[in-house]
Structure 1
């Protein structure tokens, strides 16, 4: 058991020691990446409704590259800009208070003369007139509050990776920025309607269904902020 623990410790340490003094590597986009696959493979064939043919007398063509053409993303492989502007705050405050008190007294002054006979045998000052007396009281109070503030402003280019049968577009976007020894990662995925895309080929995050937005990083700063894996295991295992 000791040898196994030592092997695991050495393996983990060697893996981390290899990153000492090195900048975090970028994620290499490969063929398995959904964005590159969507760009490389052609989209669905255009239907007659989507071609929007123009008449011969028209001075302007209806193509996407024309002056008045619609350049919004609408097919697999197209790129659009996702605007993430989150400025939200939530504040919840709850308080509760409960109080209860009770008093009971039970006496047997006369019961076929039995109490009188019993009183003769009781110590001086004792009597069955106040045989039982109870008092109880309880009080409870609670107070709780939640306060959160979130603000995030980001813009990222996303790619249409799939077009559903009802016209909804599935998008995926990723961005990596390295500053010194810290790599920031931004990932966004979800589903959008083509009509929600603006003329500037942009869409806000609140119009993305099943949106998944991740903004994090890896590097020296993130490594220092995270507790050691031994401490994380101890926090889970220890019952106190």
Structure 2
């Protein structure tokens, strides 16, 4: 009669392990509750307060002058001068001049401020341990719908103990915030006006 082989590791489960303050269980008092598995939820903190200003100025000028004289060419200019009006001469056959100038000014002033929080879910764990997250939030007030979408890649060590992560620590972060409804519709030009602006060259 053969004896069954012993397991490689033996784990003894005790009820006191769940009650210990130093337990590594996520449900314990001091357990790590940060999101780290597929399906876990974390909070994305979006705080953007950016200002950008760009000024460009370009000036360009150019002038050129060229002349060609034919004082002697087998006596041909002198023979032609006999048939030309007084003051005209083939001695100065060609004279060209050109002047051009261009000036350009441009400026861009942009200011953005956005403060939002949205819960995101871990959708994939890459082989190197990086977490792919995606979150969506919809808020409807009367006939107006507001949508917030966020996605990107985060490192587990960048997630705080409060299970949140700021937007600047999200790689390939994509944030989309907008809405649709009666108010948004009134802010848009009519379809006929948009068609005319596309066709008309002025």
TM over 0.5: yes
Aligned pairs for 1:73-152 within 5 A: 73-152=35-114
SS in 2 for 1:130: coil
SS in 1 for 2:23: coil
Superposition deviation, residue 111 in structure 1: 3.3
2:197 is the alignment partner of 1:197: no
Aligned residues: 185
Q: Is there any run of 5+ residues in structure 1 with no aligned partner, and where?
A: 1-55
Match of 1:168 in 2: 130
Superposition deviation, residue 238 in structure 1: 4.7
Seen in structure 2, the aligned counterparts of structure 1 residues 236 and 112 have a Cα distance that, compared at 3 Å, is closer
TM-score of the superposed pair, with normalisation by structure 1? 0.69
Please, what is the CA RMSD of the aligned residues? 2.2
The more displaced of 122-131 and 79-88 is: 122-131
Q: Is there any run of 5+ residues in structure 2 with no aligned partner, and where?
A: 1-16
- CA distance in structure 2 between the partners assigned to 1:207 and 1:216 by the alignment: 23
Match of 2:193 in 1: 231
Match of 2:184 in 1: 222
Seen in structure 2, the aligned counterparts of structure 1 residues 163 and 114 have a Cα distance that, compared at 3 Å, is closer
Structure number with greater Rg is: 2
Superposition deviation, residue 206 in structure 1: 1.5
Identify the structure with the greater helix proportion.
Answer: 1
- CA distance in structure 1 between the partners assigned to 2:165 and 2:74 by the alignment: 92
- CA distance in structure 2 between the partners assigned to 1:153 and 1:92 by the alignment: 25
TM-score of the superposed pair, with normalisation by structure 2? 0.81
SS in 2 for 1:123: coil
- CA distance in structure 1 between the partners assigned to 2:31 and 2:79 by the alignment: 112
Identify the structure with the greater strand proportion.
Answer: 2
- CA distance in structure 1 between the partners assigned to 2:75 and 2:38 by the alignment: 101
